[in-house]
Amino acid sequence: MKPLFVALALALAGTSAVAAEVENHGPHPFSIRDLVMMDRVGDPQLSPDGRYALYTVRVTDYAANKGVTSIYLLDLDKGGDPVRLVDKASGPRWAPDGSAFYYVAPKDGVAQLWRRPLGTSGKVVDPQAAQAVPVTNAPIDVDGYKLSPDGKKALLTFGVFTDCADLACTKERLDGRAADKASGTVYDKLFVRHWDTWSDGRRAQLFIADLDHAAEQPVLLTRGIDGDVPSKPFGDDGEFSFSPDGKTVYFDVRIAGKAEPWSTNFDVYSVPADGSAAPRNLTAANLAWDAFPVASPDGKTLYYLAMKTPVSEADRFGIMALDLATGQKREVAPNWDRSAGSLQVSDDGKTLYATADDNGQHPLFAIDVATGKVSTVVTDGTVGGYALGKSHLLVQRDDLKRSADLYVADLRGKGLKQVTHYNANRLKNAQMGDPEFFTFKGWNNETVQGYVVKPVGYKSGKKYPVAFIIHGGPQGAMENGWSYRWNPQTYAGQGFAVVTINFHGSTGYGQAFTDSISGDWGGKPLEDLKAGWKAALAKYSFLDGDRACALGASYGGYMIYWIAGVWNEPWKCLVDHDGVFDARAMYYDTEELWFEERENGGTPFEHPENYEKFNPVNHVKDWRVPMLVIHSAQDFRIPDTQGLGAFTALQRRGIPSQLLHFPDENHWVLKPQNSVQWHETVNAWLKQWTSADASATKLN
């Protein structure tokens, strides 16, 4: 049953009503309405001459209950207002000569690759110069692409049946299935379902097309590859690339077979760009994860990221250099104890750029190819994306008080300047809480970091109720970054102080710190959470330890169920989103088995004791604290039977409890109106149990 305030929220007239409600307010505490209507800047792309920026902006269509993405152009030299070029499109990429850009957008209901010329007057782009034209005319969706260095060809990704001879065959088979009145599907191997999608037998495969004849059947480059290029569910064009001369294509893939759900053995392959030979495995010797290949400007070296531990998704990604002539490999910065991501190479080939978690931040780093020396280029916040030019950088950056905007700087990060100001008008009256990081001694007397956020309207000498947020992953972190799901400012705006701890297992503090959680989910992290809570109460007198609720999602949800039985004393209430309730059942319900086997030292039929050691279901008899359980039907990572089981336990024990169930969401709550409902329900639960006159909150 929906609470009345949720029904009221969903009765709003639409986008304009919600937007007006947000923007026309005077000074007010930051709220979920502010958050859900914010413009989301992403995918920055720098023109070849460095003068112009292409990027995307996602706006919320509240009435349609979805986001709509458009492509914008900004003159970095002259400044001024950005120009919106294309609506309902994604993936903008510059033609190598800067005369046009490409993107993906629907045509007659099918996603195609488009080209939009940008006429010039001297060196000034005229965004209204010409109309876009579709480059492809495929019968099925173009899922992704990458242009060749000369701009004459494009790599294209499609979801196809690998036994089909052409794209039309896949289309015909899909149409036939849709017309078939029998709805059953027979499976003979896993994955049966993955993340939020049931398998239909298709694989993501890599093709190449001549852009002058892209409407013709493209050439399949990954023939014989039993795997997805790019990987599912979140792979992108960072997983495939061209050599500088355009004659070779590099990609990474996990060969699937029947072992796909318990393997992380991705490898990097090369294949002739004309498809004249079969793909060749370049990293077969490493049984762990190799991925994200990018060639040096001279074409002699292939850089890629590699883990060293098989069956792990949280091992450190080191930067590898492969000499393509000799086959020799070396690690570029072996002593840099951070896990690299989003790798790019400078125009002169001397410097690599990568982002990485680092002590509560997510900066951009520069790595000297010859010496391995690492320098911080852009710090203090989260670099969510960047584009590398010949003389400067275009950076997407955010932090705990600012949503993403674009910045420019030189290649060393000097002269960092903000060039877009999205959400400035919307948030000029939205009041936020001030964050502050702190450290303390956690497990084994080791230093652990956390942060607090003061409530909006904070006054010295006053005490405030607390939202104690436990992050997921578990190999993740609560960082100095903006979030559209677990944003501490939404709690600060409701009058809560926020405390969060980056316990053992978190990323950005060295690989040993990250690895320490495996096999010890309820051990070291719990000690850190206890010590962090104690340290926060001692350091920040405004925290009211008698009016505190703990919240967590995914692994954080597991921890909520765990502390419900073994550390329930401090809490007036608990909120669990998509958590693991029964560790043994979780193994048989989930899809990515490598994660479960890595974290628990094997399978439950080989090592049942490992799954029972920290299993929340075994401590239900000690549950006492009121709990809100949230789960979604499309969550295949942690299926909703886990949440249903926990709610059953709470109800049978007679503990005050609620279940919020979404039939149309996955592990995350993404739809705008569902996000509003999620936050309103959580906020009401927190206020109910932390109010001054709250009734007895524990079962005796």
Q: In this predicted model, what pLDDT tens digit does every residue of 354-377 receive, in sequence order?
A: 999 999 999 999 999 999 999 999
Min mean pLDDT across 26-30, 437-441, 606-610, 644-648 is at 26-30
Across 473-500, average pLDDT: 98
Q: How far is CA 642 from the centre of its chain?
A: 23
Taking all residues of the chain, what is their mean pLDDT, rounded to a whole number? 94
Q: Report pLDDT digits (tens) over 518-559.
A: 999 999 999 999 999 999 999 999 999 999 999 999 999 999
Q: How far is residue 653 from each of residues 16, 94, 647, 682, measured CA to CA in Å?
A: 45, 60, 10, 22
Q: What's the pLDDT band for 5 if we cut at 50, 70, 90? A: very low
Query: 159: closest CA among 202, 196, 197, 124?
Result: 202
569/550 Cα distance (integer angstroms) = 11
Q: What's the pLDDT band for 215 if we cut at 50, 70, 90? A: confident
What pLDDT shows up at residue 450?
98
145/93 Cα distance (integer angstroms) = 9
490 phi and psi, to 5 degrees?
A: -70, -30
Q: Which two tokens stand for residue 336?
A: 């840099």
Q: Which two tokens stand for residue 406?
A: 């674009």
Q: Which two tokens stand for residue 596?
A: 């479960």
Domains and CATH numbers, the chain: 432-690 (3.40.50.1820)
295/344 Cα distance (integer angstroms) = 9
Across 109-116, average pLDDT: 97
Has residue 15 got a pLDDT over 50?
no
Go through the chain and tell me how many residues it has: 700
Q: What's the pLDDT band for 297 if we cut at 50, 70, 90? A: very high
DSSP class of 260: G
377/368 Cα distance (integer angstroms) = 12
What pLDDT shows up at residue 25?
66
The residues, any chain, with a CB within 8 Å of residue 495's CB and separated by 6 or more, are 29, 455, 456, 457, 464, 465
> Ramachandran region of residue 628, left (φ > 0), alpha (ψ -120 to 50) or beta?
beta
Helix (H) and strand (E) counts in the chain: 14, 42
DSSP class of 61: E
What pLDDT shows up at residue 539?
98
Across 279-308, average pLDDT: 98
Across 220-240, average pLDDT: 97
CB atoms within 10 A of CB 235: 19
Helix (H, G, I), strand (E, B) or coil at 470: strand
Has residue 350 got a pLDDT over 80?
yes
Q: What amino acid positions are annotated as catalytic residues?
A: 554, 635, 667
Across 614-620, average pLDDT: 98
71/92 Cα distance (integer angstroms) = 7
301 phi and psi, to 5 degrees?
A: -125, 140
- B/e letters for 515-547, b = 16+ CB within 10 Å, e = fewer, are bbbbebbbebbbbbbbbbbebbbeebebbbeeb
Helix (H, G, I), strand (E, B) or coil at 433: coil
Q: Which two tokens stand for residue 616?
A: 């929340």
What pLDDT shows up at residue 598?
97
Has residue 23 got a pLDDT over 60?
no
Q: Which two tokens stand for residue 477?
A: 């972190």
Across 106-119, average pLDDT: 95
What pLDDT shows up at residue 123?
60
Residue linked to tokens 């900066």: 363
Secondary structure in 3-state letters for 95-147: CCCCCEEEEEEEECCEEEEEEEECEEECCEEECCCCCCEECCCCCCCCCEEEE
Over pLDDT 90: what percentage of the chain? 91
Across 201-212, average pLDDT: 97
What pLDDT shows up at residue 19?
47
Q: What's the pLDDT band for 129 if we cut at 50, 70, 90? A: low
- B/e letters for 128-140, b = 16+ CB within 10 Å, e = fewer, are eeeebebbbebeb
Q: Report pLDDT digits (tens) over 255-288.
A: 988 999 999 999 999 999 999 999 999 999 999 9
DSSP class of 700: -
Across 214-223, average pLDDT: 93
Across 454-478, average pLDDT: 98
Q: How far is residue 276 from each of residues 190, 227, 247, 249, measured CA to CA in Å?
A: 32, 20, 11, 12
What pLDDT shows up at residue 427?
86
Q: Which two tokens stand for residue 445?
A: 């007397």
What pLDDT shows up at residue 449?
98
45/559 Cα distance (integer angstroms) = 40
Largest CA-CA distance found in the chain, in angstroms, rounded: 79
Transcribe 289-343 into DSSP letters.
-EEEEEE-TTSSEEEEEE-SSTT-SSS--EEEEEETTT--EEES-TT--S--EEE
The model's pTM = 0.94
Helix (H, G, I), strand (E, B) or coil at 515: helix
The residues, any chain, with a CB within 8 Å of residue 551's CB and separated by 6 or more, are 467, 468, 469, 470, 560, 574, 575, 576, 577, 682
Across 309-317, average pLDDT: 97
Q: Which two tokens stand for residue 662?
A: 């979404």
Q: How far is residue 420 from each of residues 79, 93, 178, 306, measured CA to CA in Å?
A: 9, 19, 45, 35
Residue type, 441: K
What pLDDT shows up at residue 126?
75
What pLDDT shows up at residue 125?
76
Q: Are 53 and 44 in contact (CB under 8 A)?
A: yes
Query: 561: closest CA among 547, 550, 548?
Result: 550
Residue 224, judged by CB atoms within 10 A of its CB (0-12, 13-18, 19+), counts as exposed
Helix (H, G, I), strand (E, B) or coil at 32: helix
583/688 Cα distance (integer angstroms) = 30
340 or 2, which is more confident? 340
Query: 76: closest CA among 102, 98, 54?
Result: 54
Residue linked to tokens 């809480």: 433
What pLDDT shows up at residue 699?
46
Decide the pairing of beta strands 40-46 and 52-61: antiparallel
Q: What's the pLDDT band for 188 if we cut at 50, 70, 90? A: very high
Q: Are 41 and 387 in contact (CB under 8 A)?
A: no
What pLDDT shows up at residue 119?
75
Q: Report pLDDT digits (tens) over 146-187.
A: 999 999 999 999 999 999 999 999 999 999 999 999 999 999
Q: Which two tokens stand for residue 181?
A: 């009145």
Has residue 452 got a pLDDT over 50?
yes
Q: Which two tokens stand for residue 207?
A: 């093709």
Over pLDDT 70: what percentage of the chain? 94
Secondary structure in 3-state letters for 4-29: HHHHHHHCCCCHHHHHHHHHCCCCEE
The residues, any chain, with a CB within 8 Å of residue 204's CB and separated by 6 or more, are 143, 157, 158, 159, 228, 229, 230, 231, 232, 235
Q: Which two tokens stand for residue 260?
A: 């796909």
Across 75-102, average pLDDT: 95
What pLDDT shows up at residue 10?
35
Q: Are 315 and 307 in contact (CB under 8 A)?
A: yes
- Do you find a cis peptide bond into 474, omega within 30 degrees of 0? yes
- B/e letters for 246-272, b = 16+ CB within 10 Å, e = fewer, are bebbbbbbbebeeebbbbbbbbbbbbe
Q: Which two tokens stand for residue 212?
A: 């002058």
